[in-house]
Structure 1
Amino acid sequence: MNAQDRALEPAGWRQGRIWTYLIALLASAAALFASFALAAETLQLARHPGIKLDCDVNATVSCSTVALSWQSELVRFGSLSLPNAFLGIAAESVFTTLAVVGLAGCRQPAWLTRCTWLGSLTALAYAYWLLSQSMFVIKALCPWCLSLMAASTMQFMAFSHSTVTVQALPRTDGPWPGLARSLRKYYRLGFDLMVDAVWVAALVALIAWKSGSALL
């Protein structure tokens, strides 16, 4: 690494291993808890069809409406289906473990770092897809699904941060040196804070615009 590249390296407590992986751990644990809650509600509906769940507030804020839709069971094996909540438990257990490994300072191979980032991106894409389906197709919001969406957003932000600042990927001596330098500058100058704040504000504004009256 030359002097120019060393000058671009993010520095400070917010760029370090403890902070980035601690946020990833908290977000993954929150997503895991939400997945367990969704799984418990799915079992409740299976055992007691027609039951009113605690989070069934009104026609718009209703966990059971979302849970009984086809969107909540994407994986099917013939006539059998696997609720998404159980996939969430499996995936978030892995993310929680990876966050603990990173927090402990264990050296991760590049392929594992890339898979972690791609996995968090996949989880984020699914959470946002379900949000769009809930808001515009099912026309009902599930509080636990919203919690999972928020946790998945923070999880993706944290793993993206750690990928660049802790694991140093992509590498400046790799096939995309320009991208690597741009990402390091992005975090070093704190641009991620502005982007993340706008991102979260846009999500809150969208939900408030579409279903704000029902949430109050």
Structure 2
Amino acid sequence: MTSTTSSLDDFPGTAPAPAVRPDRRWAGVALAAAVLGFYGAATLVYERLQLFLDAGHRTSCDINSWLSCGTVMRTPQAEAFGFPNPFIGIVAYAVVAVIAAAVLAGARFAAWYWWCVQIGVTLGWAFVLWLWWQTTFEINALCLYCMLVWVVQTVLFAHTTARNLEAGVLPAPAALRRAGGAWAWFASAVLLVLVFGTVFVRFAGVILPA
């Protein structure tokens, strides 16, 4: 008597549901980060245009003397490359959103492409760190929409690095590659605690009541 039990391998047209790949996990986080980052950058561009039209314009995040987008926007650091920094964010986050949407739709990219994504995201995060230093220790004022960009760029950097480690794009020991997806959120949290912890200490004198 022959067994009637068969596996999916017996049917060429049938395959088990694919496991969630690290690039698809990355894409979900990256798309959300890109949308939030684009919103923050677009809002800053709008407010900058209002300042251009009316030098006395009060921006939507001018809350007090130290939490003021208008103060930050009027500094040379706000135009590091000769034009308002948020224009960079609009283009960069639009590109990230397109890549993330393509991955969610099933697109797969070569390792060199992911290297380009990694380099771009890392340079963006380095620029964010420079802006954080400038606003915290040189300008002595903070911008709410800028801080939103700090958050999303940090999360994007951590998850892009984790994705590329897990997928083998970045060389790393096997144990680190396997743990990539697990530590991405933890790394994001640690980096943000360091960034905003420094901000809190720096502005503690005006944040905390006397």
Query: Per the alignment, in what secondary structure is the counterpart of residue 66 of structure 1?
Result: helix
Q: 2:176 aligns with which of 160, 183, 193?
A: 183
Query: Per the alignment, in what secondary structure is the counterpart of residue 203 of structure 2?
Result: helix
Pair 185,151 (structure 1): closer, same or farther in 2 beyond 3 Å: same
* TM-score with structure 2 setting the length: 0.82
Give the Cα separation in 1 of the matches to 2:200 and 2:99: 34
Query: Per the alignment, in what secondary structure is the counterpart of residue 62 of structure 2?
Result: coil
Aligned counterpart, 2:98: 97
* TM-score with structure 1 setting the length: 0.80
> Which ranges in structure 1 are unaligned for 5 or more consecutive residues?
1-11, 77-81, 171-175
Cα deviation, residue 163, structure 1: 1.8
1:28 aligns with 2:29: no
Report if the CA contact (8 A) 2:65-2:141 is conserved: yes
Stretches (4+) displaced over 6 A = none
Q: 1:198 aligns with which of 173, 187, 190?
A: 190
Give the Cα separation in 2 of the matches to 1:153 and 1:161: 12
Amino acid at match of 2:28: L
Give the Cα separation in 2 of the matches to 1:215 and 1:99: 38
Report if the CA contact (8 A) 1:61-1:215 is conserved: no
Pair 196,54 (structure 1): closer, same or farther in 2 beyond 3 Å: closer
Instruction: State the Cα deviation string for residues 190-211 of structure 1 (Å, max 9, x = none).
Output: 3444433322222231121112
Give the Cα separation in 2 of the matches to 1:100 and 1:51: 37
Report if the CA contact (8 A) 2:158-2:185 is conserved: no
Give the Cα separation in 2 of the matches to 1:162 and 1:105: 16
Give the Cα separation in 2 of the matches to 1:52 and 1:58: 11
Aligned counterpart, 2:202: 210
> Which ranges in structure 2 are unaligned for 5 or more consecutive residues?
1-18
* Alignment size in residue pairs: 190
Q: 1:52 aligns with which of 25, 38, 58?
A: 58
